Structure 1
Amino acid sequence: MQEIGSFILDQLLKMQWLSDLVASMLACFGIDPQSSWGGTLHFFIYDTIKIVILLVTMIFVISYIQSYFPPERSRRILSRFRGIQGNAVGALLGTVTPFCSCSSIPLFIGFTRAGLPLGVTFSFLISSPMVDLGSLVLITSAFGPGVAVLYTVFGLVVAIAGGALIQRLGMDDQVMDFVRGESVDAEEDMRRTPRERALYAAGETASTFRKVFPYILVGVGIGSLVHNWIPQEVIEPVLGDGNPFAVILATVAGAPIYADVFGVIPIAESLLAKGAALGTVLSFMMSVTVLSIPSLIMLARVVKPKLLGVFVGICLIGIVACGYAFNVLQPIL
């Protein structure tokens, strides 16, 4: 059983076969994969192809599943739950939605217009970019299944607790008036054939791929440079265990960056290989995916400054807490 698990992790998720293939191809052209330039090329080609394969596969699967949960059906499901149960269901529903926070905001608006509790919609908004199924697979391929499971658990805890706190603070008056209109989501036909669902999933895959591929190239490019050109002695004092403020620094540094998990993981992998602490790089990832400046600008158009500030504060505290927790647990992971 252990051999099967190792095979799945190494050959299917980490794609060791692909790494060996790229190394052999570079050697055929007289390029040493162990040199700085050869290592940069190897990292860039291998990680780009690996991420694209995982990206296309997971988007198709998730989009196919998502075809069973159009906005109106999701609203009906969420409306059955109240209190902490509603927050939990909202957070779980966020795991089968698009990857970036900007694409989650229109659904957040639709759910709010439909009259769902504000805390439930915010649990969804926090969870959606942070702990989707695609990120779970990619984090498994990069850091192993133990880290991926804990990352998902911590992300869901932040989403549930954040939504519950916003609900308890009674901030319903902090949503812009136009959001409170009637829901504009029409009920979609749930009797699609498997072929129609597959065509829908293929369309979503193509659309999402076009949006995120440039960020993948940028992320892998930065990751390859960090991995092969920045010495460990430069990164470790700043982002390693020796700096007690490393998690906070990484969280703040990640916020201005707009990317999704597929673009930021190569950077996180390289930082970890150079001596950055596990919790520090995961906090950086969470901050990039949840608190990107473009998504906050979009959110500022539908909620008032007080609620936006509370949302950012909850996310910052939750992400920092997760980072320190991972750093404590790193020796046993």
Structure 2
Amino acid sequence: MKILNTKTMSFYFVFFFSSLCCAHQKNVNEVESPQLENFLSKWEKISTSIRSYRGSYQRCVLDNVYKTVQLSEGKFYYDKSNWSRIDTDFIDTDFKKTLYNTNDKSQKYVLNGTPYKIIEGLKKKWICDSKKIVIIDDLNQTYTKVPFDSNYFSSDFLEGPLPFFFGMSTAELKKLFYCKLLKETENEITLTFSLRNRLKNDNHISIITFNKKTILPIEAQIHYPNYGQTFLYKFINIEINRGTHKRNLWLSEYFGGDKLPFEIDLSGHSEKKVVIPPSGFCVVPYVLGFNHHDANKILKRSGLNTRYKLPEGQTNLKQKNSLIVQQQSPSVGKLVREDASVYLELISD
């Protein structure tokens, strides 16, 4: 797959994936290398001096369930006091052709013989002032406000690159993650990270490539085999502020001419209310008509378990490669506790 220079990388680690956690095999033979230790020490020293940063990114989401490739690009800003902004835009046609080497008229990308539809990412602004999050949809002229610490935070944050964990020590890092050196060249180093205490159903694999001199990330990729998704990022022109610039002055007109990037005029937009599930609860997604493999992945994305009712005469799922979901219980849209079971009645394909 020709994307982001086809480097294998992904990451929950301290730089860009705060809402993600990485999976790892239980029996891990950790071998620490001098190169890894030297880089982590350098990262710790440099990152503590970073107050904020800004840059551009290109993002791709490969979805093996819905057979889509979603493309977007944009700009982002973060600082230590949890002020953040992500502007996501449609990806331009020239970049799309270069990235996928595809005929733009077909809007298809073929992977292992399976056609994937290329779709545009959402065009919107994501603004956080450390107290609330405002998601602005200029295309539909709507906006949504949610508390900073709500469940909505992590799910929507995946629309753009995720933030640094500023100032984490190497010792703290190793308590949270298995770290491994994957590849090193003169100017770059690629590391893998796996969360030591993995979450149930979440076994995604994370890797990132850094610039060895600046310790800033270059490209990243996150694989979710249980969810059937892959997230890919390429980071461009990341700039660091070590406290010499005031926020509004540094960002004046950086985001498309907004002189006050955290005070957007919403007079021409209408507020779109969202219902945020209470902590520990989630909404049952729609899986009718999906094969049982894909239905299971969709439910796992919501933190739910799967139970099956097999067709008459069939004793186990291994007897047939693919069965179709005819009924689901609880039904779509129901509010249930996370880790609850959804019962699927299957029929032969």
TM range (shorter): under 0.3
TM-score by length of 1: 0.25
Q: State TM-score, norm by structure 2.
A: 0.24
Going by fraction, where is helix more abundant, 1 or 2?
A: 1
**Structure whose alpha-carbon radius of gyration is higher:** 2
